Amino acid sequence: MSAGQISAELTEAERVRILAKTARFNPPEVQTADGRRELVGLDRAEITAELAAIGEPAFRAKQLWHWIYHQGVTDFSVMSSIARPLQEKLAERFVIGRPVASVVQTSTDETRKFLFRFRDGQEAETVYIPDRVADRGAVCISSQVGCTLSCRFCHTGTQTLVRNLGAAEIVGQFMAARDSYGEWPSPHGETPRLLSTIVLMGMGEPLYNYDNVAKAMKICMDGEGIGLSRRRITLSTSGVVPMMDRCGEELAVNLAVSLHAVRDDLRDEIVPLNRKYPIKELIAACRRYPAASNARRITFEYVMLKGVNDSEADAHELIRLIAGIPAKVNLIPFNPWPGSPYETSTQDSINRFAEIVMDAGFSSPVRQPRGRDILAACGQLKTESRR
């Protein structure tokens, strides 16, 4: 057996271990108060099975799928391709729900933050980030309530993990955000543009809730439903190496990697997951990631912390590390939150850093902080949910 095979098997064992461990944090099976079954979050096979159980053929499941995920309808009585008696039968047994927005705040820059409450009362935040220039925008979705990792610069990281979000709750955030903008196609109308991108960059580590995130993203990518291409979805991870491979094989969505430091001693401190999956392994996983071999690029996220990771030497080491990877480097000015231990790098050092990276041939956009006034910017999300 070659060394490559041994490490592949170890990786598989590690994946199984991670999936078993993280499943403990799955949401409780919550029924609606009246016992009806929630349809949002079910995949095609499950919807087909639910309908078969009440004696309805597969083509009904296809129709229902279209109404739920393509048209965004929540009321059976408007499903014009389904006869009235069946509409009533469906409404007796099923619901098409949404998480409830308990707070909605709109920033002066038009970023909108939602605090969504789920059936068991837990809450998570979702942010809509409009892009005026391109006339479209991105929905930043949470994958967990809290986070098990405690990155030093991240507000979510000061909260422990309360629980994973289920597939219904993950898709539900996107659907509810679309509701808020009335952004569903009319039966014969245009495709929605404003809410046409998903970034998994809200609360939580998506690769520590892989099964639910994968199911939700597959639903979002189904061409007869929400229909987002995988190029319109970006998953951001702090570097759960074994699950990055799995994500590449199964979803092949865009990958963003929260690098933030170029030496293990510093990364161990600010992204503690580095102690388990150090920089060398992380970069190797990026080189293996399938999207990197196509036209698409991996995004390296790099939070600019004054005097911590923002020197010219850091920039030079960064380009050495990622040499040869089709990549861009997203520089994120640190977004402070109450009690945060860091300061944002000066504009000067951000510019110098960006220049060095750019001179090496990588695009290095500086991320404009959005929605800072409503604490909706990267890393500022934190709810008061308790386990």
- Binding residue for ligand SF4 (CB under 6 A) from 47, 51, 139, 149? 149
Does 375 participate in binding ligand SAH (rule CB under 6 A)? no
The residue from 125, 169, 205, 301 that is catalytic is 125
| Category of 252 on φ-ψ map: left (φ > 0), alpha (ψ -120 to 50) or beta | left
Beta carbon nearer to ligand SF4, 99 or 146: 146
> Shortest distance, CB of residue 333 to ligand SAH, whole angstroms?
7
Choosing from 122, 126, 173, 236, the residue that interacts with ligand SAH (CB under 6 A) is 236
Cβ of residue 199: shortest distance to ligand SAH, in angstroms? 8
Give CA 201 to chain center in angstroms: 5
- Least distance from ligand SAH to the Cβ atom of residue 238, Å: 4
Backbone dihedral region for residue 170 (phi beyond 0: left; psi -120 to 50: alpha; all else: beta) = alpha
* Residue of 48, 173, 237, 364 that binds ligand SAH (CB under 6 A): 237
Q: 147 an active-site residue?
A: no
Residue 309 near ligand SF4 by CB under 6 A: no
Burial 296-333 (b: 16+ CB within 10 A, else e): bbbbbbbbbbeebbbeeebbeebbebbeebbbbbbbbb
Which one is catalytic: 140, 151, 154, 378? 378
Please tell me whether residue 157 binds ligand SF4 under the rule CB under 6 A.
yes
Q: Which stretch binds ligand SAH (CB under 6 A): 89-97, 161-169, 232-240, 287-295?
A: 232-240
Q: Interface with ligand SAH includes 238 (CB under 6 A)?
A: yes
Nearer to ligand SAH, 115 or 201 (CB): 201
Contact 240, 18 (CB under 8 A): yes
Nearest in space to 221 (alpha carbons), one of 244, 240, 203, 196: 196
Q: Which two tokens stand for residue 212?
A: 């639910």
Binding residue for ligand SF4 (CB under 6 A) from 50, 56, 169, 205? 205
Q: Does 238 bind ligand SF4 (CB under 6 A)?
A: yes
Residue 237 CA to residue 148 CA, distance in Å, equals 13
301 touches ligand SAH by CB under 6 A: yes
Beta strands in the chain (DSSP E): 37-38, 94-95, 100-106, 112-117, 123-131, 136-140, 144-145, 163-164, 195-200, 233-237, 254-258, 298-304, 327-333
Site residues, ligand SF4 (CB under 6 A): 147, 149-151, 154, 156-157, 204-205, 238, 258
